[in-house]
Structure 1
Amino acid sequence: MPRRLPPLLLLLLSLAGCAFVTPRFPQNVQVDFARDDMRKLTTRTLELYYPARLRPSALRIAARLEDCVERLRSLPRKPGSQERVVVYLTGADFNNAYVNPDYSSIPQQMVLPAHMSLELFNLLGFGPSELGEVGCHESAHYVQLEQTHGVWWLVNTITGGLFQPNSLTESWFLEGLATYYEGRLGKSHGRPHSPLWRGFFEAGSQSLGGNFHPGYLSPEHRRMDPLGGNYLTGSYFIQWLVERYGEERLWKLVEVQGGTLIPPSR
């Protein structure tokens, strides 16, 4: 065992006992939860919390989420956590969806809206009510973050959850992987099947003569607005990696990252 490992573990265990005041949800989502009776739906794969008035939406979304999570969990060679995926469904006007990694103040959780009011989601192949498909994108994040092994698995087991190394993977890989899979989990929905999405990339490729440099993977690259280089170029780069090296290599990288002591792995 490396000499620095025991002091590092001691430091992490000390930090795990500290209290952090961090809101679990954005303010409008918190208000929605506080004003309505909440219900819990438990399935083989999910724990879904939702306002009582959203039961029909919750049942529809849960059915799709369960299928996506089970498909994704079958991909890694080294199984990650098999605990139920924790999902919160909100009826707030919340045009977003996200997964919180496991940190000392906030457990790993997925937050989904019951509807989207932005026309952009229609153009990207989702539709305003297809939140199950948006959940498939978030499920890829959730399953990737679950791939935590080695020292961090031990630390998280002892502390109840402190850190997931895959949360420090570069944004183009995180979002590119999730975007790649959102349209390949049993249904042809989402960005990989959107004419707008494909046309935006193909037009950019044509104007650049196919010369995409690594900067086009950045979410800050202005030519990738409004879709984001980490999502758009990232998903096409992931597709190229799969075609050239196979899916197994992608999940091998996720596995290596999840077992590294000081991420990101190199």
Structure 2
Amino acid sequence: YYPEARETQAKRMAARVAYCTRAVREHAPVRDAWTDQKPRIVMADLPFNNAYVSPPWFSEPISVVPTHNTTDIFAPFHLPPDPGVIGCHESVHYVQLLQAGGIHRFFTTVFGSGYTPQLGLEPWFHEGVAVYYETKLQGGIGRLGTPYYEGILAAGVAGRKINGGWLHYLNREPTHGGHYLVASFFVDWLARTHGERKLWDVVGRQANAVLPPFGVNGRFEAVYGKSLSTLLEEFDAELTRRYPVRQRPVGQRMVRQLGSDARYHRTADGWEAVIDRALDRPTTLVVRNAAGAVVVDRLLAEILPGRVLLHPSAAGASGLAFSPDRRSLYFTMLDAGPLFSKSRLVRADLGSGALEVVGDDLHGPGGGLTPDGTHYVFSRAQGDAWGIASLDLRSKSVRWVRRPEPGIYYHAPRVSPDGARILAVRSDATGTALSLVDAASGNVLPPPAVPSGPVLEASWVDADRVVYVAGAQGRMQVFVSDLRDARFRQATHVPFLALHPQSDGRVIRFLHREGWSWTLDEVAFPSGEPVDPRIQERPMFGTMVATAPSVPKLVVRPVRKDEPWDVSFARRSAVGARVAEEPVLSDEPYSQLDGLLVPQVRGPWLVVRDAYSAVLGGSALGGDRLGYHRWAA
């Protein structure tokens, strides 16, 4: 179900989701008319910035994937904000939630879509499996395909023991959620160590369990020969071996401690801005001048009516930029709107600390100011594409610098100091890379030389040099590229993860991951010989599978214990997504009568009035497919 104006986009999404659904169903232990029913997908034309599958719980199962997203929160995940790519993740949920056998299949046939036994498995298993296949089925993109995601985990678990509580969605400590981060690597370890087939054996046993919410630990023991607790202990031992405590190298120093989520920007003359938050500290803006003195230190969340921002967060902030006169700081905040998120452009007065919304909704994440401070350049969403747009801060008019192209997403655009070029991160269904765009014409220019693998968080050093993070030896490090000689240099050797590098040509400051938090660190600007991009140690992710069938088969062979584990198993065993246009069987306008009179849930009831009489009857629930109408009888 899609808006009429999005027909072409809907077909592109349907092709990828159909591929992923078929691929996952090849692994499913229960196959019948119920499990293989046509997925119901709603493409909401709203900045929902999320996607989900509503399970069969007193209604038909349905998947909701928005036509566009306006947040760059997922950019470091090596995951473009593409509805088809995101829909592949949701298709794993859809297939798993329909797995029902035995007595549950009988109840489904007789009484309708009342429930699914898969709800007896906790969210960590559902999300862990979905993240695993999100990467495996799409050529290695996704969370398990980037050293950023692994770096967050490695820094958090180094020197610590994990337990089952780290998998729970209510555990606030693991960044990005333990039921995603820790669970996806646990599932990846299970597939690598014990074979992928056993993941689906657990799903199959859950599908046939008489009491689905109970005995989950026993079902893991029946499949793996070990309890879930024992498997977690072995996983913890593997993490301890793989991620020992590491110290900063010589030449890298900590400037200050930051929170668990942070955004950072620094100018060439030394002004700094940080938006961060910690577990017990709300989102805060701190600005320091070139001398290091604090100019602004304020909470972004306000309480009383009339507040400027309703739900600010460090993760939702982007595009920090100082005005040339250093009187203002601009940033974009993904904030709550009346119904859905808005990308608000905010100006912070550095004299008073007051906030002002100068752009109610940019429809995309932020970028930066032009050198004269009159325009703010940002990403703007239009369906399954992000173009580069420019907002005139005086007239509030918006023009396209580079118009959207289907399947291509430009984010974090930064204008060069001379105003001639725009540096941006470009992502699509194959991954992320740096891109240069002519600021006047919008034409794409030859990109900077960079290492292989995903590239993130780029900024200008001067008109000819750029600094960014990319993979090296399995970790995200800071690199410098010179646009004049098409070569690059590695600037850091951080223990786990670097992000948001900024440089004035003398030093580089960046976010450094330590535990479950960030620190602001500094190294000297590299002066060594640059690296020829044709000469690299090895591909960052190892060797990919070159060819693959249209529906990948299960990998059932456990990897040898002595085989090096320098990437996730999902990435190592990834297959290229074979996406082909799906035939259209019918394409009619939606009617609110669609499925309206068909009972989705039905069943008997009995009322005992007294010792001598009782009433036996039947009941039914139903509604149209999109929920405009619901009825019960």
User: Normalising by the residue count of structure 2, what TM-score does the alignment of the two structures yield?
Assistant: 0.33
Give 1 or 2: higher strand fraction. 2
Residue 243, structure 1, aligned to residue 192, structure 2: yes
Contact 1:256 1:265 survives alignment (8 Å): no
Query: Who is 1:170 aligned against?
Result: 122
Alpha-carbon deviations, 1:165-206, whole Å to 9, x = none? 002211111111111111011422211113321210121132
- 1:215 positional shift: 1.4
Q: Deviation per CA, 1:1-37, whole angstroms, max 9, x where unpaired?
A: xxxxxxxxxxxxxxxxxxxxxxxxxxxxxxxxxxxxx
State the AA in 2 paired with 1:218: H
| Residues 201, 233 of structure 1: 8 Å contact kept | yes
1:148 equivalent in alignment to 2:100: yes
- Aligned residue for 1:161, secondary structure, equals coil
Change in Cα spacing, 1:252 to 1:150, as seen in structure 2 (3 Å) is same
- Structure 2: distance between partners of 1:265 and 1:142: 22
Q: Distance in 1 between matches of 2:8 and 2:44?
A: 13
State the secondary structure of the residue aligned to 1:222.
coil
Asked if the contact 1:69–1:136 (Cα under 8 Å) also holds between the matched residues in 2, the reply is yes
Q: Which one of 183, 189, 192 corresponds to residue 141 of structure 2?
A: 189
The answer on 1:90 being equivalent to 2:40 is no
Q: Distance in 2 between matches of 1:219 and 1:260?
A: 24
- Amino acid across the alignment from 1:252: D
Task: Please name the residue that 1:123 is paired with.
Answer: 76
Rounded to whole Å, the distance in 1 between the matches of 2:104 and 2:91 is 21
SS of 1:120's equivalent? coil
Contact map agreement 2:45 2:67 (CA 8 A) in 1? yes
Are 1:110 and 1:142, in contact at CA under 8 Å, matched by a contact in 2? yes
Flag the structure with more relative contact order, 1 or 2, with Cα contacts below 8 A and sequence separation at least 6.
1
Q: Does 1:102 align with 2:52?
A: no
Determine the C-alpha separation between the residues in 2 that align with 1:234 and 1:99. 19
Which amino acid letter does the alignment assign opposite residue 220 of structure 1?
L
Conserved in 2, the CA contact under 8 Å of 1:257 and 1:265?
no
CA contact (8 A) 2:119 2:213 kept: no
Do 1:166 and 1:257's aligned partners in 2 also have CA atoms closer than 8 Å? yes
What is the distance in 2 between the residues matched to 1:180 and 1:200? Answer: 17
**In 2, Cα distance between the equivalents of 1:102 and 1:77?**
19
Give the Cα–Cα distance (whole angstroms) in 2 for the partners of residues 61 and 194 of structure 1.
23
Question: Distance in 1 between the 2:134 and 2:31 partners?
Answer: 20
How far apart, CA to CA, are the structure 2 residues paired with 1:253 and 1:264? Answer: 13
What is the rounded CA distance, in whole Å, between the counterparts of 2:76 and 2:8 in structure 1? 25
Task: Choose which of 20, 32, 39 in structure 2 pairs with 1:68.
Answer: 20
Superposed CA offset, 1:113-132 (max 9, x none):
1111111122222223x121
Q: Which residue does 1:54 correspond to in 2?
A: 6
CA shift, 1:207, in A, is: 4.5
| 1:79 CA displacement | 2.1
Residues 120 and 214 of structure 2 are in contact (CA less than 8 Å); yes or no, is this contact kept in structure 1?
A: no
TM-score by length of 1: 0.76
State the partner residue of 1:199. Answer: 151
User: In the alignment, does 2:222 pair up with 1:222?
Assistant: no
**Cα displacement string for residues 85-135 of structure 1 (whole angstroms, at most 9, x for unaligned residues):** 11111111101100011122x21011001111111122222223x121111
**Residue type of the alignment partner of 1:231:** Y
Deviations 1:50-89 (A, max 9, x none): 1101112211111110110000000123325111111111
Q: How many Å separate the matches in 1 of 2:214 and 2:188? A: 21
Q: Which runs of 5+ in 2 are unaligned?
A: 216-633
Look up the match of 2:481: none
Q: Distance in 2 between matches of 1:125 and 1:55?
A: 27
Verify: 1:78 aligned to 2:30, yes or no. yes
Segments of structure 1 that go 5 or more residues without pairing to the other structure are 1-48
Q: Which whole-Å CA distance do the structure 2 matches of 1:195 and 1:55 have between them?
A: 36
**Cα distance in 2, alignment partners of residues 120 and 79 from structure 1:** 36
Tell me the distance in 1 between the aligned counterparts of 2:206 and 2:142: 27
What is the alpha-carbon root mean square deviation over aligned residues?
1.4
Residue number in structure 1 paired with 2:528: none
Structure number with larger C-alpha Rg? 2
Aligned-pair CA distance for 1:261: 2.2
SS of the residue 2:70 aligns to: coil
Q: 1:246 to 1:68 in 2, by over 3 A?
A: same
